[in-house]
Chains A and B, each alone.
Chain A
């Protein structure tokens, strides 16, 4: 008797499994934005960030995330859900980040990720813009007597992160200079810092912004310096899954709104007072003219919320990158009108 009960429980379980298999499936690719619907249903934006990179995405002691990458996710949350704080952050290693995005664990990847052709075209990702123009550099000890990359000699050891473009650029660079080197690639940035700090490697190479940020974590930051040369182009920007055009547009224009707001002098404190501005471009930004939000299925105040709750790009940069001493000089990350290369298509 007991045996037959067991049998029927097993049978029931198996058929349940079969029913469960029948559902599901489907997948992305439909015209409507599944990601947008799911985000509204869940009530938060699923955002992939770094495991701790000051200025870009870094958690404080109480677990609050901040940084310019984090602000992209906050902008999306403000636009879609009306509250910039409704973001669920998932810290990811360089290795995990794309799989987390393509598998749907996160919906926006804002993790100092370099836009390259193969990433954009080959592995089911779409880059929506650039929120930081960076380039790879080298850090050395100040007393090392190395003042330029031309001082590197055969046998130098270089630490970096695995699974990054830096690993590839490093090889291109040393090969072109015909220098034999020892590459040591760690999975986590903290381990790279520790190993370099201990003297395991003579130089630490990654994006210059990363070097500046990680320097603050060294046991004695003043003992280290970043060499002047930049050996690569590293346009860093947010990434979404391929196949959801509406969601892609929402993330792209959330970032563009922040940059355009700075261009027109709209910031978190004056945004709501500019509703009756003379300038139609400003009126479109604060939602008092046009029906721009409708294009993504959002209301008309989506961009106003971004500016009010997150701020414009300049505010974000100042708060996270400049005031923290990471890179006080904006360099290429300045508006095109002020000598930089930040130039976004008009919101109209």
Chain B
């Protein structure tokens, strides 16, 4: 069929040819690069394979959320790096969102001073390259912190020093029961909220669902402490002398300054973009909407919560998704200040020790791709949830 009509006059065929050629060209480029790499690696005696992931890594990592030391494998080191990347991204996204919303709303404030401060914040932090901000927080700001022996003490249970922020360590008994109670509390809150919605929609009754939820969240776990044998004790950091002038803290948990600096820089920087998204979102809701809401007797908070925000969120979410993705990808700048993220640990040290550049870089790229796509998918789901539902 298709051959019968195949001539340059045929529009379909004409459209198909360049596309086919493009695909073919793209394929040949990929095949060319792959074979070229294979030939040259063969010539230089470089082998290709992923077996190295099971070899002993034999290097240590400053900071790890899972058990790790040099006797573990490169695969485990990869996992440590990945978890550290996720940790700093989650912390960064959390604070960037809070700062971003506060600053974005502040920029629209009637108070001249608040609006101006917010504007200056945005203009300063979004116009300085991120890497410089990371260096600023790490080398300039944290450098001003005192040595451990003069650490800034918070009530003698927590200490901020140049070597990190030492905080008490939580020691739980029956942690599982506590965890279950928290989950139970959240399930209860879900039912309370759907009950409240039903009441509102069917009978027009407004229940104070927020306060009830809060009480539930505190009350249920509290019961486990009182009656179910859950207890929590703290292990406080204690100053330890290593030599005449060298001190450190023992016990407790150390939040390394690299993490603090990176999280600070990422959230402060990304917050400026989120703030602008929030401002755009709120301004994007028509004035008539607010006036209409006011005319049916909603108060200021209700207008914001029930009328403005649901509509603003539709404008805010898509560009904010981009910012979350940017933040996650920007966390790879960690290597500059020795925060052991996946780039430093895996695409850095592990690459150097094994020399398997192609394998390691592919794994790292694939990891970032997976991370970014996961965030995208979550945000798309959230965006759909927030979209207009015709009733």
Residues of A within 8 A of B (CB): 4, 7, 10-11, 14-15, 17-18, 21, 24-25, 27-29, 94-95, 98-99, 102, 118-119, 122-124, 141, 143-146, 151-153, 155-157, 159, 162-164, 167-168, 170-172, 175, 181-188, 191, 194-195, 198-202, 241-243
A195 to B258, CA, bound (A): 11
A205 CB to nearest chain B CB (Å): 12
**A119 proximity list for chain B (CB < 8 A):** 355
A198 to B44, CA, bound (A): 43
- Cβ of A29 and Cβ of B352 under 8 Å apart? no
- Cβ of A102 and Cβ of B244 under 8 Å apart? no
A24 to B33, CA, bound (A): 11
A185 to B345, CA, bound (A): 9
- Cβ of A156 and Cβ of B242 under 8 Å apart? yes
**Minimum CB distance partner of A16 in chain B:** B25
Besides the known contacts A11-B17, A185-B340, 12 further A-B residue pairs in the complex with CB atoms under 8 A apart = A17-B28, A21-B29, A141-B245, A141-B246, A145-B243, A146-B243, A153-B242, A162-B349, A171-B60, A183-B61, A191-B336, A202-B242
**B244 proximity list for chain A (CB < 8 A):** 143-145
Q: A21-B32, A28-B44, A162-B344 are in contact. Are A144 and B59 (CB under 8 A)?
A: no
**A201 proximity list for chain B (CB < 8 A):** 163
B142 CB to nearest chain A CB (Å): 8
- Cβ of A163 and Cβ of B250 under 8 Å apart? no
- Cβ of B36 and Cβ of A162 under 8 Å apart? no
- Cβ of B338 and Cβ of A167 under 8 Å apart? no
Residue in contact with B348 in the complex, picked from A163, A175, A184, A243, CB distance below 8 Å: A163
A290 to B39, CA, bound (A): 39
- B175 touches A (CB below 8 Å): no
Q: List 8 A–B pairs whose Cβ atoms lie within 8 Å, in order of A's numbering.
A: A27-B39, A118-B353, A122-B354, A141-B245, A144-B246, A191-B336, A200-B163, A202-B248
- Cβ of A187 and Cβ of B24 under 8 Å apart? no
- Cβ of B22 and Cβ of A155 under 8 Å apart? no
- B41 touches A (CB below 8 Å): yes
A123 to B143, CA, bound (A): 39
A202 to B241, CA, bound (A): 12
- B214 touches A (CB below 8 Å): no
**B40 proximity list for chain A (CB < 8 A):** 27-28
- Cβ of B336 and Cβ of A124 under 8 Å apart? no
**B47 proximity list for chain A (CB < 8 A):** 122
A21 to B22, CA, bound (A): 14
Interface residues as binary, B347-361 with A (CB distance below 8 Å gives 1, 0 otherwise): 011011111110000
A146 to B244, CA, bound (A): 8
Residue in contact with A143 in the complex, picked from B61, B245, B338, CB distance below 8 Å: B245
**Minimum CB distance partner of B361 in chain A:** A99
- Cβ of A10 and Cβ of B355 under 8 Å apart? no
A182 to B64, CA, bound (A): 11
- B162 touches A (CB below 8 Å): yes
6 residue pairs, one from A and one from B, having the closest CB atoms: A123-B355, A145-B244, A163-B352, A124-B44, A29-B43, A145-B243
Residue in contact with A155 in the complex, picked from B21, B242, B337, B356, CB distance below 8 Å: B242
- Cβ of B18 and Cβ of A7 under 8 Å apart? yes
- B229 touches A (CB below 8 Å): no
**A124 proximity list for chain B (CB < 8 A):** 41, 44-46, 355
Q: Interface size bucket, B side?
A: 35 or more
Residue in contact with A14 in the complex, picked from B21, B46, B162, B248, CB distance below 8 Å: B21
- Cβ of A185 and Cβ of B349 under 8 Å apart? yes
- Cβ of A144 and Cβ of B245 under 8 Å apart? yes
**Minimum CB distance partner of B43 in chain A:** A29
- B176 touches A (CB below 8 Å): no
- B169 touches A (CB below 8 Å): no
Interface residues in B147-164 by Cβ distance below 8 A to A read: 147, 162-163
B55 CB to nearest chain A CB (Å): 11
Interface residues as binary, B222-244 with A (CB distance below 8 Å gives 1, 0 otherwise): 00000000000000000010111
- B139 touches A (CB below 8 Å): yes
A9 CB to nearest chain B CB (Å): 9
Residue in contact with B25 in the complex, picked from A14, A102, A185, CB distance below 8 Å: A14
**A175 proximity list for chain B (CB < 8 A):** 70
Q: A198-B139, A242-B44 are in contact. Are A95 and B351 (CB under 8 A)?
A: yes
- B198 touches A (CB below 8 Å): no
- Cβ of A167 and Cβ of B349 under 8 Å apart? yes
B292 CB to nearest chain A CB (Å): 49
B74 CB to nearest chain A CB (Å): 13
B220 CB to nearest chain A CB (Å): 39
Residue in contact with B353 in the complex, picked from A4, A7, A18, A163, CB distance below 8 Å: A163
- B58 touches A (CB below 8 Å): yes
A205 to B70, CA, bound (A): 18
A28 to B42, CA, bound (A): 10
- Cβ of B21 and Cβ of A186 under 8 Å apart? no
- Cβ of B22 and Cβ of A10 under 8 Å apart? yes
**A17 proximity list for chain B (CB < 8 A):** 25, 28-29
Most A Cβ at <10 Å: residue of B14, B35, B242 = B242
- Cβ of A187 and Cβ of B29 under 8 Å apart? no
**B25 proximity list for chain A (CB < 8 A):** 14, 17-18
- B257 touches A (CB below 8 Å): yes
- Cβ of B24 and Cβ of A162 under 8 Å apart? no
A122 to B62, CA, bound (A): 28
Q: A14-B21, A28-B40 are in contact. Are A155 and B250 (CB under 8 A)?
A: yes
**A144 proximity list for chain B (CB < 8 A):** 243-246
Q: A28-B44, A242-B44 are in contact. Are A182 and B348 (CB under 8 A)?
A: no
A168 to B24, CA, bound (A): 47
A140 to B362, CA, bound (A): 39
- Cβ of A153 and Cβ of B36 under 8 Å apart? no
- Cβ of A155 and Cβ of B240 under 8 Å apart? yes
- B335 touches A (CB below 8 Å): yes
Q: A144-B243, A162-B344, A183-B60 are in contact. Are A95 and B352 (CB under 8 A)?
A: yes
**Minimum CB distance partner of A122 in chain B:** B355
A195 to B44, CA, bound (A): 38
- Cβ of A145 and Cβ of B245 under 8 Å apart? yes
B45 CB to nearest chain A CB (Å): 5
**B354 proximity list for chain A (CB < 8 A):** 122-123
**A157 proximity list for chain B (CB < 8 A):** 163, 248
